[in-house]
Amino acid sequence: MIRITRETDYGIVLMTYLARADDQPRSAATLAQQHQLPLPMVSKILKALARVGLLNSQRGAQGGYGLARPAAEISAADIIGALEGPIAITECSLDTSDGCCSRQDHCEVSSHWLRINQAIHTALQSISLEEMCRSNPSQTVRFHPSWQVATAHITDRSV
């Protein structure tokens, strides 16, 4: 099973909330309380997102965290990459994996893993934070023409 961590899931929840916050900074404590999440984890997530430039942080009584750029310009891939590291389905599909696998010279599927990884990255890159803020996604996902099911409609975030 391919899964993102609980921390990344919470990061996406926090980012969607901040996208809806009308450019008003929110403190880590406020975000933790509103979403019933542990403050240390929320602080860690927010700092990581700020470190890569997805969030701005302001100190002071009116301070807190806010989006560093418009929600339409932040992708699911940006958030996941910031919290998980490079998006790669296998070690050999990392862009930086120069000879990481002892079987790479004899592997018959590595080029396919690269294609699959690129498809996943492209799909995540195509979904903006702005779209993730919508309660009912309207985008239809189209599968490969040779598959039995021609289309599927994404209706919940567990897909």
**φ, ψ for residue 104 (rounded to 5)?**
-55, -40
Predicted local confidence at residue 63, as pLDDT: 82
**CA separation for the pair 14, 98 (Å, rounded):** 35
Question: Which domains does the chain carry?
Answer: 1-85 (1.10.10.10)
Tokens at 156, concatenated: 């919940």
Residue 132 contacts residue 16 (beta carbons within 8 Å) = yes
Is the model more confident about 150 or about 111?
111
Average pLDDT value for residue range 124-136: 89
Burial class of residue 20 in the structure, from the number of CB atoms within 10 Å of its CB (0-12 exposed, 13-18 middle, 19+ buried): exposed
CB 105 within 8 A of CB 92: no
Is the pLDDT score of 93 beyond 90?
Answer: no
Confidence of residue 154 (pLDDT cuts 50, 70, 90): very low
pLDDT range class, residue 153, cuts 50, 70, 90: very low
What is residue 156's predicted lDDT score, i.e. its pLDDT? 44
Element holding 75 (H helix, E strand): none
Q: What is the pLDDT of residue 98?
A: 54
Return the pLDDT at 155.
44
DSSP β-ladder status, 55-58 and 151-153: unpaired
**In the prediction, which pLDDT does 22 show?**
80
If you write DSSP's letter for every residue of 122-152 in order, what string do you get?
Answer: HHHHTSBHHHHTSSS--PEEE--TTSS--EE
Tokens at 56, concatenated: 């701005």
pLDDT value of residue 28: 95
pLDDT in tens, 36-80: 999 999 999 999 999 999 999 988 777 899 999 999 999 999 999
Average pLDDT, the chain: 81
CA dihedral of residues 37, 38, 39, 43 (deg, nearest 10): -80
> Who wins on pLDDT, 17 or 21?
17
pTM: 0.78
Q: Which two tokens stand for residue 38?
A: 């542990």
Q: Which residues contact residue 48 at a Cβ distance below 8 angstroms, ignoring those fewer than 6 apart?
A: 11, 82, 83
- The residue-averaged pLDDT of 12-35 equals 93
Residue 156: count of CB within 10 angstroms of its CB: 7
User: Which residues are bridge partners to 141 per DSSP?
Assistant: 152
